Amino acid sequence: MTLTRKLWIGIMVLIVLSPLGLIVPDHFKAGSAWGEWGVEEIQKMTGYVPLGFQRLSELWKAPLPDYAFQGWEGKDLVHLSFAYIISAVSGIVIITGVAFLIGKVLAKEHE
């Protein structure tokens, strides 16, 4: 088995496991996944929001907020797990595509 094939198998396993970030906190009633806090959650946990965090949080809006489709906020865990997998696949496709294009451009520069 080639190294590339092993890499893609590993990525597929990670895609399938991605809903664990949703399932585990839900199972243990832990709230949201560690480090994925929004401004409101930071305010609730610490009592304030750092100015830089506040400024930067307004700069970027995620294409799939909370890794779910618009209107899916109240859906069950199965639907949200599916949305996590779709988010993972979308991110991998975008990153792979950008890396491939950058590689093509750099390869042409060195011809």
- What's the predicted TM-score (pTM) here? 0.72
Q: What is the pLDDT of residues 44-83, one digit of tens each?
A: 989 999 988 888 888 877 777 777 788 887 788 888 889 8
Residues belonging to the chain: 111
Task: Look at the alpha carbons of 47, 59, 91, 73 in this order and tell me if their dihedral is positive or negative.
Answer: positive
Which of 41, 43, 39, 40 lies closest to 30, judged by CA? 41
Coil/strand/helix, residue 28: coil
Q: Do the Cβ atoms of 85 and 15 come closer than 8 Å?
A: yes
Percent over 70 (pLDDT), the chain:
100
Q: What is the pLDDT of residues 37-50, one digit of tens each?
A: 888 888 998 999 99
Domain-wise residue ranges, the chain:
3-35+64-109
